[in-house]
Amino acid sequence: MPQFDLPLPELRRYAPRIAEPPDLDAFWASTLGDARSVPPVVSAARVATGLRLVDTWDVTFAGFGGDPVRAWFSRPAGVSGALPAVVEFAGYGRGRGLPHERLIWVAAGYAHLLMDNRGQGDLFGSGGDTPDPHAGGLQPVTRGIRSPHDYHYRRLITDAVRAVDAVRALPGVDPARVAALGNSQGGGLALAVAGLVPDLAALLATAPFLCHFERAVALTDAPPYGEIAQYLAVHRDAGDHVWRTLSYVDGVHLARRARAPGHFGAGLRDTVCPPSTVFAAYNAYGGADRTMHTYPFNGHEGGDAVHVRRQLDWLRSKLSP
């Protein structure tokens, strides 16, 4: 795929005005206030993984509506004291998988919490363990899309915020040094967390989904954005409701409220999360300390392992383990 979006100099200046709901802050304050009416951690049980250098717990925490959400919590074995923590969010259609699949951040010396995606896990990877009792059918991006109160991503973003609450309540974690991290959908969730958790210590978002929806749907027919177009092709009268709902979870609006140091990445040939949608969020980002890495000849994979090494170096400079 050749480059199809704006040239890099224009991307660096791209800051579109996107209509923001006047009650956005009240909407999220009410949603998160309800979720936080119960303690975050429900249970944490040590599990055998076959790994000698990593200790892992199967954690259940209270997410949206008090619903039980599963996660893997891991720490370097034999390390005492309170560690900085990385809360990681998985991509679209993925669940938390198996506990030995994501070891980079534990190997780097961090405590690590990997959140399960409610109602997902059936498209890629090794599955998930968290149902979404509030909705079924359709693809995640279109579940409840006619109303911001019924929308799947209201629940999933709330779960993501509660994952930060949960890791801060677990033993062996320094609650003042917690970072949110993810790629694609995970990057969009991490970005939302940065906007909704004012004392987050750091954000790492690569090719974030959930940003500048109308432009994304206009530029690509690849899923997940293409699934919104498919929905509107059938539900031809739903456009106003759909765009209004999406405005409550748009990463551009939530990025504007973020204050944590931010590390971003984008492939300039990415047809899944087009680069202009990523830059729309990056250029709106409220934190003064932010950096962007671009990969001109890469798509949704972005910088891959090269980018991860850059993340490792950057995060160590912010939250030394």
**How far, in Å, CA of 170 to CA of 13, rounded?**
41
Q: Residues of 21-55 as b/e, b for ≥16 C-beta within 10 angstroms?
A: eeebeebbeebbeebeeeebbbebeeeeeeeeebb
Distances (CA, A) of 283 to 199, 210, 290: 21, 15, 10
Pairing of strands 290-295, 262-267: parallel
Catalytic residue, chosen from 112, 212, 300, 307, is 300
Length of the chain: 321
Catalytic residue, chosen from 67, 165, 270, 307, is 270
Active site residue 300: yes
Catalytic residue, chosen from 184, 212, 253, 263, is 184
Q: Of all helices (H) and strands (E), which one includes residue 314?
A: helix 304-318
**Cβ neighbours, 10 Å, residue 224:** 22
Ordered alpha helix ranges (H), the chain: 8-13, 24-35, 104-107, 152-169, 185-196, 213-219, 225-234, 239-247, 251-256, 275-284, 304-318
**How far, in Å, CA of 115 to CA of 45, rounded?**
15
Active site residue 307: no
- For the chain, what is the radius of gyration of the CA atoms? 18
Active site residue 289: no
Catalytic residue ranges? 184, 270, 300
